[in-house]
Amino acid sequence: MQMMIISAVLSALIFPLVGKLCDNYEAKKIVPFSFLFRCFSTVMFCFLETPDSNIAYVVCVLVIIGSIVEQISVDSIFAKNLPKETRGILNGVYSFSGQLGVLVYSLAAGYFFDKVGPKTPFVMIGVLDFFFAILCLTMGLE
C-alpha cells in the first residue's frame, strides 16, 4: 500500500513535467528515453535480493514512473498527429490494441513466470523496451 501511495504522489508531480517535455522536445528523443528508462528499471528486478527490501520499493516506484512516462509520451505523439476527422476511431483502435497487448503479455508473462522463473517477465519487458527504443532511435535518424 505504501508503494502505491508513493507512486501515486510522484506520478502526480511528474505528469505535468512529462507533458511539458513532450510538448517541447521531439518525439524521436522522448520516446526512446522513456522506453530505455523503463527497460533499465525493470532489469533492476534481477538484482534484488529480497522482494520486501527498501531497494525493491524504489525499483517498483521507478517501474511505475517509467510506465507512466512511456504512456504519456506515446499518447501525446499519437494525439498530436491524428487528423481531426478520424481522431475518435483511431483513439478507440489505439486503446483496444493496447489492452490486447496487455492481455497477451500477461498470459505470456504468467507462463514464463511458472516455467522459467519469477524474474523472467521483468527481463522480457526490459528486453522488449530496449529493442523498441533502438527501433525508435534508428527510425528517427532519417
pLDDT value of position 105: 93
Domain that holds residue 8: 2-139
pLDDT value of position 96: 94
The counts of H helices and E strands in the chain are: 5, 0
pLDDT above 90 as % of the chain: 30
- Nearest Cα residue to 70 out of 107, 39, 96, 95: 39
Query: How many structural domains does the chain have?
Result: 1
100 phi and psi, to 5 degrees?
A: -65, -40
The per-residue pLDDT for range 78-136, each reduced to its tens digit, is 878 888 888 888 888 988 998 999 999 999 999 999 999 988 999 999 999 999 999 98
Could you tell me the three cell numbers for 37?
Answer: 528508462
Average pLDDT over residues 68-73: 85
